[in-house]
Structure 1
Amino acid sequence: MPRVKVSVIVPVYNTGKYVDECAPSLLGQSLPPEEYEVVYVDDGSTDDTLDRLQKIADAHPNVQVHTRPNSGWPGAPRNLGMRHARGEYIQFVDHDDTLGPEALERLYEHAIRNDADVVLGKMSSTMVRPRRLFRHTIDACTIENDELMQSMSPHKMFRRAFVEEHGLRFPEGPWILEDLAFVSAAYLKAERIAVLADYPCYYWMKRDDGGNNTQHRFNPRHGFWANCRTIVGRIKDGTEASDDVDALQNRLLHRLYHVEVLSRTREPEILREDPAEQRQRFEAARELAREEFPAAVREGLPAVSRLRAELLERGDFDGAVALAERVREVKARSTVGGPRWEDGRLVADVTLELLRGDGEPLAVVERDGKRWLDPELLDGVPGTRDGWEVRDPFRLAYAELIVKDRDREDWWYPEGDLEVRLEPLGEGRARLVASGRLSLDPERLAGGRPLERGVHDVWAFVQLLGVDRMVRVTGDGAAGGPAAGPALTGGRLALPYWTGSGQLALDVDQRQRRLGPDTAAAAATNSARGERSLSLPYVAATAGAPAPVKVAVAGLSVDATLLPGSGGTAVLRLPGRLKVPTGRHPVTLPKESTPVAYAVVRDGLLLRLQGPAYQAGSGRRFLEAVADNGQVRRVRRRLGRNG
């Protein structure tokens, strides 16, 4: 009997239709069914969930269904699932999420190849922004790689023997942050952790009924603050204390402090919640920060975040609200210079910066040999009349470009890095900007594989001075117009354009855009002449398979071909025979009236293609006229027979 490589553990409660939506992705894995199992654990559902599960189990021998009394939280069902699991590795999946078709096979192979205790698979999500942790595949690392703290959900693959050896279990009952408790403990114990970033393994999507949003997060019964204290204590117990802001313990605690504590002092939460309730959270966060987090964690924050921490520790709720109102107005701006094709890649120069609410750059001011945070940002913030020092303007500053597959919610990272620099503005003022080159290769961007057919939007994430923003990468091009000429890559057309909001996007394989309107002007200037094919100098091309394209010749729809030609341009080729009258006919693309070529046809045979601007010599025009004149040809044939 084949050994079970992976046990997929799925806690469920009153899941209803979402069980049926998730199940196909679990049961249709590329790993053979006998090599993995799906362990459903029902947490006392009161709807028809259990009946749905039983039907799935009856039809699939590798599915188990177990039940338990309702616990109100996923921890207990996951623990029960682990007790029944037989797999070498355990993969946790929530009942309303899905797996990529090859997820288990790829994760297992990556785990075995690297002898990993924990494997993090690339996540695609509408719930959280992309994490730079998944920019590159990592064969082996440890908790020293603090970027692991960006991914604290349990949707990972764990070696079962490792889990049992260290007695790793989820807290049971209503225990908010149970994911963080389990995952942080695993990170601290693991000898080898691997990251699989070149394939979307896990799809964590927002439900249409909002049912997978964490609700009642601060309900006292769930013990949010006490649980956070517990997790901080475990991290401190498992690492060495230090006053160095970059020591491991302080780097690991940074995530908890920034996400679970400072979030209570910042926008949008502090501005949208009931003030009385938010004051209670603020005071609870203050107590936790002062009692549990070393000073080095706060001192290691960038300028704006450090100011938030200062206001929190002082208990200045009104100051925190005022700062949140000012920071909420800060916007990110992108500048894109000249998108173009180079060696099969769409390249462009990109610059990112932050602007205040009045549209001016968010500045750093030099005074008395020190740097200070933009006084306009601090206007109206209590306790900052003397300014706020920026000790290190580059502290935790970074920016990156990201490409989103609009149809699949997959996020990919193009080649190249953005560099953060301080740019003088004059009069002792400077701004932080991030700049670099976008280099988008449609044939390799998706984890070394070609992008799927569809529209791919270009985004950027920027974090400067402790202010972070996701921003659309936009340019000065007309909304809806072309951003660069089309390209033939890997046998498919890639069409860069500006969306209606001005965002740079790439349509691969004509998902929404068509070759035509964007190329009309360039096509009209083509003065070349070929035989049955014609060079299109306005279409870039790299080596690869031909691409089919529809054209119209004398009103007849014709299946033509685009193929790579010499000089990095594409070539349009028409069939040798066409069912059109003898003569010179315009060749147009769908929904476009401007010809991209003219076809010279005689007796159904395509003699040659000519560019719209092609001008033959007078003698040549006469000969062509003679050659294309049916009466002259009939006279010639008659003379030939009589002779």
Structure 2
Amino acid sequence: MSRTSPPRVSVIIPAYNSMPELTKCVTSVMDQTLGLDKIEIIAVDDGSTDGTAQELDRLAQGCPSLRVVHQPNSGGAGGPRNTGLDMAGGEYVFFLDSDDYLGPDALRRMVAMADENHTDVVLGKMVSVGGRAVPTAVFSHNQPRTDIFSSHAYRTLGCWKLFRRSLIERLELRFPPYRNCEDKPFTAAAFLNADGISVVADYDCYYSRNRQNGNNLTLTAADLVHRMDGTRLCFETVARYLEPGPRRDRIMRRHVEWELCGPLRALLPKESEQRAREVFYPQFRHWAQSYATDGVFQQLAPPDRLIVHLLRADRYEDLMAVVRNAKEDAARGNLVDKGRVYWCHPFFRDPVKAVPDICFDVTDRLPVRHELAEAAWTGDGSVLRLTGHAHIESVGALEAATRLLLRPRGFEHPDIPVPVAADEGGFTVEIDLGTVDSGAPLGPGVWDLHLDVRVRGVSRTVRLRQTLNDPNGERTTPPKREVVTTSRSGHEPTTARPFFTPHGNFSLDVRRTEDEPPCHVTGIAWDTSVPATLIVTGRLTEEPPRHPAPTTLRAEDDSGSAREVPLRYAQHGGHTGFTARLPVGKLPPGHWTLTLRTDDPKRRILVPPTKGLTGTHWFRLSRLGRPYYAKPLPRGSKGALVLRVAPVRLTVALRRRLGRRPGAAGRT
């Protein structure tokens, strides 16, 4: 098959004695919905002796998109990956281990995510096959565009991701020749320099499995001698690309916990006394002194703080005693002293060991188990009654000093404390919104509710939440209620709307009644059947509405030009819903702010931004078929959704494609 254009994705598969898993690995790429005309598969046989080479050659006979390279064994996965990178011509590169396989729609979804959000790295949801550990936190939800400081992406440094190849070549990235941890410095460098990271979490993209014969490199090269070089390079990579300070400390923490303390605790006692003392201990101590700054130290859990302290203090024997007895000492319980909780480790307050208390202070890490059981208005007034339970794990049930805190979100105001009635772990609190603020009503704004749990002098503050759902799988909130009181500034009726955040946290939205919108937008999405058409759905908040209901969806650009489409109303259950269809493909280039309009020309209802809305592309026949795109701007105008409509810059797109061809200028 001869190509008329460069492939979108180069899938690189390093293979060494990979039978029988190899066949499913390769065929999972051949079966991708993205299409083999947009994929090149580069499989590098690294000196296999089990039939891997012959199977690759057989598969290549029936698939022109599969290129097979045979080379002498290099001892690790980095060498064959580098061979594949030197041959790759795709706009993107994906590394697929020969043990694993892809979901059929994986590459199409990841490429679309990168294209729509102009991101350099895309993480596809990983799935465990046969019990192999995979990351989960980063895949809690789709993230069209994020970074390592705003997500859990940096917690997964395996290279099984989609990388924009121009990023790899700009940084001159290649894998070091190590048997273990060779991919962590590579991925770390890409993360630290990426122009945006995307996460595909709503589709099972990557299936990770252990080999039947148990010869995964992560298992056969798990000892310290195979980890130290990769660990050193991880620390050096972060230090190279991040200036000292809180941002570097946040990233270094991951390596101190996972690459320093974890392997030291698990693997150092297995080494001979001489190698442990003379070879590995000096390297661990150097990393602790160089990279575990005070900012990192404060973020560590007490067991890791203790290890780092002993490394800094050059106390080898004490360190070995700690790691050898780690499992036994972890179960020794805690001690409460003057409002702090300490781990009862044998070194705690031992005058001979003289270890600082901070190495044992677990106060801020103790889980607070709590649940909001019920929220309801009492009578016809402005009193909101909350009941639930709470306790601090290993310390005890809450006491009478516990308080509820109303905390403002995004505006200046002191926290408002409300007394809580506590009884055997349960709590009840009544919030009179008409007088809660030192005799004045609760002012307009969003107020987040926190529980300041007090037990035996220990204080922990957590967001008040409800994790349990009703039989319909939902959380029941009290209806909104108008609160009419006399405040310091006069007679100002307000409307309070209790609500749960997507994570189950409880909050109050208080607005002046005259500002209460007559409707809420409930959905924003691109029409899947009509190109470049935006669908906005919503519902009336009151029936009949207090204010004029919206009649049109309006898009207005920076020059004042506007386009409007009507709202279509229909009854849905017990409420009135509406739908508007905006043909974005007919809008001229510009920044278009979306609002809902009523018959009152002074009243404007903002269409809010939504994290789930990505960009879209289409072709305009009136412009000789030129491609255009629309995408939401990251920060709208005063909270409204703003769409950027613009033509795709053909010269830039052409230059990028030419620059990615094998042998083109700029390759390194």
TM tier relative to shorter chain: 0.5 to 0.7
In structure 2, relative to structure 1, the CA distance for the partners of 1:423 and 1:49 (3 Å cut) is: closer
Counterpart CA distance in 2 for 1:46 and 1:392 is: 52
Once residues 26 and 101 of structure 1 are traced to their aligned partners in structure 2, the CA distance between those partners, rounded to angstroms, is: 8
Q: Retained in 2: the 8 A contact 1:265–1:320?
A: no
What pairs with 1:203-214 in structure 2 (closer than 5 Å)?
Answer: 203-214=207-218
CA contact (8 A) 1:375 1:387 kept: no
Aligned-CA RMSD value: 3.8
Matched, 1:141 2:146: yes
Distance 1:44 1:128, change over 3 A: same
Q: Is the contact between residue 363 and residue 431 of structure 1 (CA under 8 Å) also seen in structure 2? A: no
State the SS of the aligned residue for 2:84.
helix
SS of the counterpart of 1:45?
coil
Asked if 2 retains the 8 angstrom alpha-carbon contact of 1:141 and 1:194, the reply is yes
SS in 2 for 1:383: coil
Q: Is 1:174 matched with 2:167?
A: no
1:188 and 2:192 correspond:
yes
| 1:369-448 equivalent positions in 2, closer than 5 A | 371-375=340-344, 383=353, 387-388=357-358, 393-394=363-364, 424-425=395-396, 428=456, 438=467
Contact 1:372 1:389 in 2 (8 A): no
Over 3 Å counting, the alpha-carbon distance change for 1:430 and 1:423 in structure 2 is: farther
Aligned-partner SS, 2:67:
strand
Which secondary structure does the structure 2 equivalent of 1:139 belong to?
Answer: strand
Partner residue, 1:281: 280
8 Å CA contact retained: 1:7, 1:38: yes
1:365 aligns with 2:370: no
- Return the alpha-carbon distance in structure 2 between the equivalents of residues 210 and 12 of structure 1: 15
Which residue pairs with 2:301 in the alignment? 302
Measured after TM superposition, the shift of residue 393 of structure 1 is: 2.8
Task: Provide closer, same or farther for how the CA distance between residues 364 and 30 of structure 1 changes in structure 2, counting only shifts above 3 A.
Answer: farther
Return the alpha-carbon distance in structure 1 between the equivalents of residues 187 and 70 of structure 2. Answer: 24
Q: Deviations over 1:300-321 (max 9, x none)?
A: 3133321221123234344345
Q: Please list, as runs of the form range in 1=range in 2, the aligned pairs for 1:504-523 lying within 5 A after superposition.
A: none
Q: 2:234 aligns with which of 231, 245, 254?
A: 231
Deviation (angstroms), 1:154: 0.5
User: Residue 438 of structure 1: CA displacement?
Assistant: 4.9
Determine the structure 2 residue equivalent to 1:74.
Answer: 77
The amino acid across from 1:156 in the alignment is K
397 and 56 in structure 1: CA distance in 2 versus 1, 3 angstrom threshold: farther
- State yes or no: 1:252 paired with 2:258: no
Matched with 1:10 is 13
Q: Which residue matches 2:106?
A: 103
Q: Identify the match of residue 29 of structure 2 among 17, 26, 30.
A: 26
1:461-499 superposed Cα distances (whole Å, 9 cap, x missing partner): xxxxxxxxxxxxxxxxxxxxxxxxxxxxxxxxxxxxxxx
Structure 2 unmatched runs, 5+: 371-388, 398-454, 475-668
Structure-2 change in CA distance of 1:439 and 1:113 (3 Å): farther
CA contact (8 A) 1:71 1:174 kept: no
Task: Note closer, same or farther for the CA distance 1:213–1:431 as it changes in structure 2 (3 Å cut).
Answer: farther
Which residue identity does 1:197 align to in structure 2? Answer: A
1:494-525 alpha-carbon deviations (Å, 9 max, x no partner): xxxxxxxxxxxxxxxxxxxxxxxxxxxxxxxx
Check whether the contact 1:283–1:315 (CA below 8 A) recurs between aligned residues. no
Contact 1:146 1:251 in 2 (8 A): no
1:170 alignment partner AA: F
Cα distance in 1 between the residues matched to 2:158 and 2:213 = 21
Q: Which moves more between the two structures, 76-85 or 114-123?
A: 76-85
User: How many residues are paired up?
Assistant: 390
Show CA shifts across 1:164-197 (max 9, x none). 23322222x3364221121111111111111111
Structure 2 residue 65 is matched with structure 1 residue 62: yes
Q: How does 1:591-610 map to 2 (within 5 A)?
A: none
> Against the structure 1 CA distance between its residues 438 and 276, is the aligned structure 2 distance closer, same or farther, given a 3 Å change threshold?
farther
Q: Is the 8 A contact 1:303 1:393 kept in 2?
A: no
Question: 2:49 is paired with a residue of what secondary structure?
Answer: coil
How far off its partner does 1:103 sit? Answer: 0.9
Residue number in structure 2 paired with 1:154: 159
Counterpart residue type for residue 57 of structure 1: A
- State the distance in 2 between where 1:248 and 1:420 align: 33
Letter in 2 for 1:255: R
Are the counterparts in 2 of residues 424 and 431 from structure 1 also a CA contact under 8 Å?
no
Q: Is the 8 A contact 2:121 2:197 kept in 1?
A: yes
Q: Secondary structure at the match of 1:284?
A: helix
User: What does 1:564-603 align with in structure 2 at a 5 Å threshold?
Assistant: none
Distance 1:177 1:419 in 2: 42
Distance 1:399 1:49, change over 3 A: farther
State the shift of 1:387 in Å. 4.9
Alpha carbons of structure 1 residues 66 and 441: separation in structure 2 relative to 1, 3 Å: farther
Whether the 8 Å CA contact 1:425–1:431 is kept in 2: the answer is no
Task: Say which SS state the counterpart of residue 394 (structure 1) adopts.
Answer: helix
What code does the residue aligned with 1:198 have?
D
Q: Does the CA contact (< 8 Å) of 1:89 and 1:159 recur in 2? A: yes
Q: Deviations over 1:257-294 (max 9, x none)?
A: 1111112442x445556555544533431232223443
Distance 1:205 1:398 in 2: 35
How much has 1:131 moved relative to structure 2? 3.1
**Residue 86 of structure 1, CA deviation:** 2.7
Report if the CA contact (8 A) 2:223-2:267 is conserved. Answer: no
Q: Is the 8 A contact 1:31 1:102 kept in 2?
A: yes
8 Å CA contact 1:16–1:48 kept in 2: the answer is yes
Which of 82, 100, 112 in structure 1 is aligned with 2:115? 112
Q: Secondary structure at the match of 1:236?
A: helix
CA contact (8 A) 1:119 1:157 kept: yes
SS in 2 for 1:61: coil
Q: Separation in 1 of the partners of 2:471 and 2:201? A: 17
| Correspondent of 1:36 among 29, 35, 39 | 39
> What is the aligned partner in structure 1 of residue 589 from structure 2?
none
Greater mean alpha carbon deviation, residues 43-52 or residues 419-428: 419-428
Task: Return the alpha-carbon distance in structure 1 between the equivalents of residues 292 and 356 of structure 2.
Answer: 27
| C-alpha distance in 2 between matches for 1:250 and 1:194 | 23
Give the 3 Å change call, closer, same or farther, for CA 389–53 of structure 1 in structure 2. closer
Structure number with bigger Rg: 1
Structure 1 CA distance for aligned equivalents of residues 182 and 90 of structure 2? 23
- Report the more deviating stretch, 95-104 or 69-78: 69-78
Letter matched to residue 337 of structure 2 = E
Paired AA for residue 139 in structure 2: F
2:168 is the alignment partner of 1:163:
yes
1:87-130 residue CA offsets vs partner (Å, 9 max, x unmatched): 22111001111111211111111111111111011112333254
Gaps of 5+ in 1: 332-355, 401-417, 446-643
User: 1:231 aligns to what SS in structure 2?
Assistant: helix
| Aligned partners of 1:99 and 1:201 also within 8 Å | yes
Distance 2:26 2:257 in 1: 36
